[in-house]
Every structure is written in structure tokens, then in C-alpha cells.
Amino acid sequence: MMTRLEASEYESFEDIKQSDDAGNEFWSARDLRKVLQYTKWENFSKVINKAMLACKNSGYSVEDHFPDVRKMVKLGSGAEKSVIDYELSRYACYLIVQNGDPRKEVIALGQTYFAIQTRRQELADAFNQLDEDNKRLVVRGNIKQWNQLLAEAARNAGVITNEEFAIFQNSGYQGLYGGLTVADIHARKGLDESEKILDFMGSTELAANLFRITQTEEKLKIDEVATATDANSTHYKVAEKIRATMLDLGTTLPENLPTPEKSVQVIERGEIKKLKDSKAKLMLDE
């Protein structure tokens, strides 16, 4: 579990994060110096130089990750002076903390923070490169795992019987789908009785439901919900707020998103077959 100090330092890294006009995130080297507890810029600039070298040796462009900028700072006399700064990428920050003073506890925390952030971006980039079918496979798999956690949180909140859990699930769908129940959505998608609605959602619709599930699971625990009635209300309200956000953003509401022709199971079987065929070819080649 994260200590209070760790949480505070993690928040510090988040607090100084900025975005440019294109929405790209960056960290000011001057701000990062303070969070990493370097008193003098001269000492911190040595760390930056080591990080730049590591960037270059890794085959990446230093200019892309360490673009230098000038900024005006006030002196004690009230006058202003132009000083150099860098708009650091997440990767640049990661290299800096890797080359920082290992005796500083905040450096170790920074290494963890930027390693996690870098890994998340790598996963996001990899996900964005997938085609729609494989995006559906990934998100549907995540939903299966999170639904188990949601079911456990719901049980702890007093949702015990199958009937109670069905009502609990309907509450979430009604909040997200503008009053539509599971049966309504099932009929709207034109599915057979044995087919599951989650298996006939595109990646965008699945992502909206994944957010509903993760946030409800968290909310049930934070609020220490203790009755099935309150659990149903929590699920509905969380989902309703997600729907309200979609309305504010002007994005397509979940019930209006297209229903894919193939189920996730069909896609999964196809991918497994490809994998088996690939292995068979490799064995023949050997």
C-alpha cells in the first residue's frame, strides 16, 4: 500500500505536469528540479545532460524529448532574467530520475512513477495500433476480470442472491443507457436469447461499460455501501454520470453505437485458429 509520503510525492509529479496547445503532456525541468529536491540548477543540469546522453544512445531524438525553451524569472531586486528551461517528455523525465541521486527517496519514487507512466503509454500506443476486432478482444477480456471484482464488491455491499445481482446489473445499464434494461438492450441489438450483449459491443461501447464497472467497484468500496438498495443506487448514479459526460462531450451514446456482426467469441476462435496455424507452419519449417 502507498504511504502518505509516496502519495504526496506522486501528486507532486502530477501537479507539475503541463500540456501544450496540441494536448501533448510535458514537465518543466525547472519545476521538476524542485520536486526532486535539487537546490541548485547547476547540479540538476548535470543530471539532465546524463539523461540526454542516455536518450541519444538509445536511438531517440534529444530534441524531441528535451526541447529547450527560455523563460523569464524574477530576481531578488525585482528585475527579470532569461534562463534556460526544458519541456521534458515523460521519457525524458524517466531518464532523469534514472540518473538522479539514488540517495534521495524522492528519486526512487520518481523512478516508479515515470516507469509506470511510460509503461501505460506503451500499452496505450500498442492498443491504438490494434484493429477493431482485437481492440474488442482486449477490452472484453478486461471487462471479464473487472466484473469479477465488481461482483465481489457488490456482495460485500449486500447484493447476495442471483435476483438481487440481476437488479444490480440492470441499475448500471439503465444509468448508462438512458433507462434501457439488459433485456431492452438485448432486444435492441437483435440478439438471440443465448447471446450476451457484451459480446456484441464495439470497442467504444465496451470501453464505456468498462469505465462504468471500474468506477462502480471503486465507489462501492469508498462509500462502504452496506445494502443492496444503496448498491443499486450507486451503480445507477455512477453510470448516469458517465452518460452525462458523454452528452456534454457530444459523443455517441452507447445505445446508438453500431452493433458488430461478429461476436467476441467468433473473433477469439479466429485468432486462436491463426495462432495454431502459425505454430503448425513453424513445426513444418523445422
By C-alpha distance, which of 203, 200, 202, 204 is closest to 192?
Answer: 200
Res 75 pLDDT > 80: no
How does residue 80 score in pLDDT terms, banded at 50, 70 and 90?
confident
CB-based burial, 48-84: b 16+ in 10 Å, e otherwise: beebbebbeeeebeeeebbbeeeeeeeeeeeeeeeee
Q: Does residue 263 register a pLDDT over 80?
A: yes
Residue 260 is given by DSSP the state P
How many Cα atoms are found within 13 Å in the side-chain-facing hemisphere of 134? 9
96 falls in which pLDDT band (50, 70, 90)?
A: very high
Residue spans of the domains in the chain: they are: 4-128, 132-285
> Three cell numbers at 108?
526512487
User: 38-42, 110-114, 145-149: which range is least confident on average?
Assistant: 110-114
Better-scored residue on pLDDT, 119 or 180 = 180
Confidence of residue 76 (pLDDT cuts 50, 70, 90): low
Interaxial angle between packed helices 105-128 and 4-15, expressed in degrees from 0 to 180 and rounded to the nearest 10: 60
Q: What is the mean pLDDT of residues 96-125?
A: 84
Is the pLDDT assigned to residue 4 strictly greater than 50?
A: no
Q: Is the pLDDT of residue 7 over 50?
A: no
Q: With beta carbons less than 8 A apart as the criterion, state whether 158 and 224 touch.
A: no
What distance in Å separates the CA atoms of residue 160 and residue 169, rounded to the nearest whole number?
Answer: 13
Position 161 pLDDT exceeds 60: yes
Q: Is the predicted pLDDT of residue 276 greater than 80, yes or no? A: no
Q: How far apart are CA 245 and CA 249, in angstroms?
A: 6
Average pLDDT over residues 250-262: 96
The per-residue pLDDT for 118 is 79
Ramachandran class of 261: left when φ > 0, alpha when ψ lies in -120 to 50, beta otherwise: alpha
Report the pLDDT averaged over residues 211-217: 96
For 178-199, what is the mean pLDDT?
96
Strands of the chain (E only): list them: 17-19, 25-28, 68-74, 80-88
Tally of CB atoms within 10 A around 126:
10
DSSP letters for 16-49: TEEE-TTS-EEEEHHHHHHHTT-S-HHHHHHHHH
pLDDT at position 103 is: 83
Which of the pair, 79 or 15, is modelled with greater confidence?
15
Query: Residue 281 — very low, low, confident or very high, per pLDDT cuts 50/70/90?
Result: low
Task: Tell me the percentage of the chain whose pLDDT exceeds 90.
Answer: 64
State the number of CA atoms in the 13 A half-sphere of 88 facing the CB: 27
Cα–Cα distance between 165 and 235 in angstroms, integer?
11
Report the mean per-residue pLDDT for the chain: 88
Sheet of 68-74, strand order: 17-19, 25-28, 80-88, 68-74
Single-letter amino acid code for the residue at 38: Y
